[in-house]
Structure 1
Amino acid sequence: MSAIPLYEAALDDVPPRVLYELLKLRVDVFVVEQECAYPELDGRDLEPGALLLWAQDPAGRVAGTLRLLREPGDREHARIGRVATAPEARGRGVAADLMRRALEVAGQAEVVLDAQAHLEGWYGRFGFVVDGPPFDEDGIPHVPMRRAAPRAL
């Protein structure tokens, strides 16, 4: 586990400077580093129930982020996406902490995500299993993954 504080908020409640850093990190990782030209600002961050989660380092810089989506009116399913970690924060458990927090927030919901194929094992650590055939997204092999809803005790 990292010792970096985690935060979560709907888009309208994210401080403007933090929101800028979150979006910049996503563009830096997915569009620039991974060389995928795609519409990063896809409108899903604005949906009701969408939450942005992030970690900030001691200097206040965004070290990692992800988003948690809920289909309108559907409390039984959630989607995790846009998982990104700043290069200087990689290997420190930031993304794992964000994943654990997102799963806590998702509660009893079944959670799905589209993982880059080389990260299948990493997501497997959180209970995700491949749930369909591999596919190509922006030139990167992906696999759909699902984590069943936790069983009530």
Structure 2
Amino acid sequence: METTVTIRTTDELTSQELIKIMAERVKVFVVEQECAYQEVDQLDFKAQHVLITRGAQLVAYARIVPNEDPDYISFGRVLVVQQFRGQHLASQLVQATLDEIAREYGPQPVKIAAQSYLQRFYGSFGFRPVSNVYLEDGIPHVDMVLERQLVKKD
């Protein structure tokens, strides 16, 4: 079955989509990673949600959030539903997320707090580490930035 990429604001999500997203986020970031923290937060109210689906099944997800730092845009909560891992959906998801950021925000740099074991993965998209590894909710993270340039046409 073919995958579909959909991008919606929180207000545009159906109640069923929102419940599926929150259930998968809690399953991955709280249960799987054994990390008790406030998974649903204030950023969800102003986020754009990037969903990859197969039919009605959510298979991958990320959220784009305006950052408190006006110099950067950010995304996070990147996940692939467990039964769909190993199918290169994470790469498809991150690329779709970066494409939407470029469309919506232009050349603004992107800054993320990546789990440190994913440095090489995000590096493949051009991100570079800009911090030492630190613990966030007991999980090693590193801040990474993707510098974006305006493309000049001749």
Do both proteins adopt the same fold according to a TM-score greater than 0.5, normalized to the shorter chain?
yes
- 1:133/1:143 contact within 8 Å kept: yes
Q: Distance in 2 between matches of 1:116 and 1:29?
A: 13
Q: Where do residues 81-96 of structure 1 align in structure 2 (5 Å cutoff)?
A: 81-96=76-91
State the partner residue of 2:48. Answer: 51
1:62 to 58, 65, 68: 58
Q: Distance in 2 between matches of 1:21 and 1:79?
A: 22
* Structure 1 residue runs of 4 or more that deviate by more than 4 Å after TM superposition: none
> Which amino acid in 1 is paired with 2:19?
Y
Q: Distance in 1 between matches of 2:84 and 2:149?
A: 30
- 1:6/1:55 contact within 8 Å kept: yes
Structure 2: runs of 5+ lacking an equivalent: none
TM-score of the superposition, structure 2-length normalised? 0.89
Q: Distance in 1 between matches of 2:2 and 2:117?
A: 26
State the partner residue of 1:20. Answer: 19
Q: Where do residues 1-153 of structure 1 align in structure 2 (5 Å cutoff)?
A: 3-47=2-46, 50-58=47-55, 60-71=56-67, 74=70, 77-107=72-102, 108-153=107-152
The DSSP-based 3-state class of the residue aligned with 1:150 is coil
Q: Distance in 1 between matches of 2:149 and 2:2?
A: 26
- 1:4/1:94 contact within 8 Å kept: no
Q: How many residues align?
A: 148
The DSSP-based 3-state class of the residue aligned with 1:30 is helix
TM-score of the superposition, structure 1-length normalised? 0.90
Cα deviations by residue, 1:101-136 (Å, 9 ceiling, x for unpaired)? 111111122101111111110011111110111100
The DSSP-based 3-state class of the residue aligned with 2:122 is helix
Structure 1: runs of 5+ lacking an equivalent: none
Q: Distance in 1 between matches of 2:93 and 2:136?
A: 23
* C-alpha RMSD of the superposition: 1.8
